[in-house]
């Protein structure tokens, strides 16, 4: 059993339990705030930049701004926004009227674990766009919050098992995304190498 799991499953009582539950509320509050901020950022990128870039590409005023350029820069960011707006809506509903120690979020992450694979496509284009777009390293943030939430969730809490399961699921999602990025990096290296040998005489 890992140290993190032993902490989340350890028997505690009295003041320690009270402190742990207070910290759990802090983690839930931070998860909610971070998700709201993230959705706001995505909405700003889509409304302030993506839509204008699409219009600019359609006008063909600048030959350097094409539909392919826009796709490279923004990838499937609109789809990512849809997923996170729905995820935020679910979190907000679970934490009504405000975050409390008894609230349960583990199942929210489990319900969205497959939909978070939407980042695979984004990460494939990310290396090309990283100088122009902020890094949407969201899944690592989710994993960090879940780890902290697990530490602050008492063993007997109804959310404990779901949080542990959600953490394992997010680890798998992160591994998949990282593998996609590694494969893309290998492909880019191969393309660069191929460009150097083109024209060689056999």
Angle at 125 between CA 77 and CA 68, to 5 degrees: 80
Q: Is the pLDDT of residue 81 over 70?
A: yes
pLDDT in tens, 89-102: 999 999 999 999 99
Query: Is the residue at 61 inside a domain?
Result: yes
pLDDT band at 129 (very low <50, low <70, confident <90, very high): low
Query: Is the residue at 2 inside a domain?
Result: no
Exposure pattern of 78-112 as b/e (b: 16+ CB <10 Å)? eebbebbeebbebbeeebeeebebebbbbbbbbeb
Contact 119, 177 (CB under 8 A): yes
Residue 152 is part of which domain span?
A: 13-195
Q: Is the pLDDT of residue 48 over 90?
A: no
pLDDT band at 82 (very low <50, low <70, confident <90, very high): very high
Query: Is the residue at 8 inside a domain?
Result: no
pLDDT in tens, 145-182: 999 999 999 999 999 999 999 999 888 877 766 665 56
Q: Looking at residue 135, which CATH number applies to its domain?
A: 1.20.900.10
Average pLDDT rounded to a whole number, residues 46-66:
84
Count of the separate structural domains present in the chain:
1
Query: Model pTM greater than 0.75?
Result: no
Q: Is the pLDDT of residue 110 over 90?
A: yes
Query: Is the residue at 1 inside a domain?
Result: no
- Please tell me the distance from the alpha carbon of residue 145 to that of residue 37, in angstroms, as a whole number: 15
Query: Is the residue at 35 inside a domain?
Result: yes
61 versus 195: the higher-pLDDT residue is 61
CA distance readout (Å), 131 to 91, 119, 128:
32, 18, 8
pLDDT band at 128 (very low <50, low <70, confident <90, very high): low
Region for residue 14 given its phi and psi (left: phi exceeds 0; alpha: psi -120 to 50; beta: otherwise): left
- Please tell me the distance from the alpha carbon of residue 46 to that of residue 38, in angstroms, as a whole number: 12
Average pLDDT rounded to a whole number, residues 52-72:
82
62 versus 99: the higher-pLDDT residue is 99
pLDDT band at 122 (very low <50, low <70, confident <90, very high): confident
Burial class (CB in 10 A: 0-12, 13-18, 19+), 36: middle
């Amino acid at each position: 059993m890992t140290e993190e799991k032993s902490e989340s499953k350890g028997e505690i009582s009295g003041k320690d339990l009270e402190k742990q539950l207070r910290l759990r509320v802090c983690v839930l509050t931070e998860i909610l705030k971070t998700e709201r901020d993230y959705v706001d950022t995505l909405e700003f990128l889509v409304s302030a930049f993506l839509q204008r870039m699409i219009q600019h590409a359609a006008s063909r005023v600048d030959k350097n701004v094409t539909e392919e350029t826009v796709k490279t820069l923004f990838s499937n960011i609109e789809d990512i926004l849809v997923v996170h707006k729905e995820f935020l809506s679910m979190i907000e509903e679970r934490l009504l009227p405000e975050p409390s120690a008894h609230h349960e979020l583990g199942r929210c992450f489990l319900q969205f674990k497959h939909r978070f694979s939407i980042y695979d496509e984004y990460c494939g284009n990310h290396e090309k766009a990283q100088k122009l777009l902020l890094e949407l390293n969201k899944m690592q943030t989710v994993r960090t919050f879940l780890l902290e939430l697990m530490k602050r969730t008492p063993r007997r809490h109804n959310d404990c098992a779901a949080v542990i399961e959600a953490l394992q699921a997010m680890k798998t999602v992160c591994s998949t995304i990282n593998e996609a990025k590694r494969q893309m990096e290998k492909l880019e290296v191969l393309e660069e190498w191929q460009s150097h040998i083109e024209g060689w005489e056999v």
